[in-house]
Amino acid sequence: MRIIIIGLSLLCLSSSVFAQPDGPQVSLGGHYSALALDYPEQRRSGGGGWVAYDGLGPFGLDVAMTLFAGDNAFAGRVTQLLAGARSGIRRERFAAFARVRPGVTRFGRRFMAPEIVCIAIFPTPEACLTLQSTFTLDIGGTVQLFIPTRSVLRIDVGDAIIRFDRRRFQSTWRHNLQITAGAGLRF
């Protein structure tokens, strides 16, 4: 995982970054995403959409929203919204970007915070539970393939770093692998 991120970062720093097609481009589409949550330990998958803007030289903007299927008894439904910057190379037929997207992951239910010992009382004390909406930082890479019909195929691989806040305690950060594949149109 780290090798992919380092490789994409090196691509961004190369002098060929500035050899891109003329004019800004906007692309939008839908995607399928798989998220391997480290805590609570579970695998989630779902669908959503993305919008990308490339018109700032080697830099661009990237926004994605994903609704993960299922109403898990422990954490409930999971929704994720990420928006941030990306930088990389863009050619006629493909593009490769490194990206950093801060955002929010929202769990449908509150649950026991990681790395905390809590007295087994019912109901569980508020200080032992996570907040439902948590800060998320997605660091990863995107590869896009451009098809002559103005279509685009997109694959994202990243580390969705989720911060679990606990009332009156320190925050805990957890790393989570997230892989997304989608298709869309470019304008």
Mind listing the pLDDT tens digit for each residue in 36-56?
988 878 899 999 999 999 888
Handedness of CA 173, 180, 49, 31 (dihedral sign): negative
Decide if pLDDT at 8 tops 80: no
Report residue 5: phi and psi, to 5°.
-65, -45
Give the integer Cα–Cα distance in Å for 8 and 120.
46
Fold classification of 2-13+27-138+151-186 (topology level): Porin (2.40.160)
Q: What's the token pair of residue 44?
A: 């989630």
> What pLDDT digit, counting tens, does each position of 79-120 carry?
999 999 999 998 889 999 999 999 999 988 877 777 766 776
pTM passes above 0.75:
yes
pLDDT at 58: 85
Structural domain boundaries in the chain: 2-13+27-138+151-186
Residues 6+ apart with CB under 8 A from 160: 35, 80, 105, 136, 137, 138, 175, 176, 177, 178
- In sequence order, the β-bridge partners of residue 78 are 68, 107
* Residue 171 DSSP symbol: -
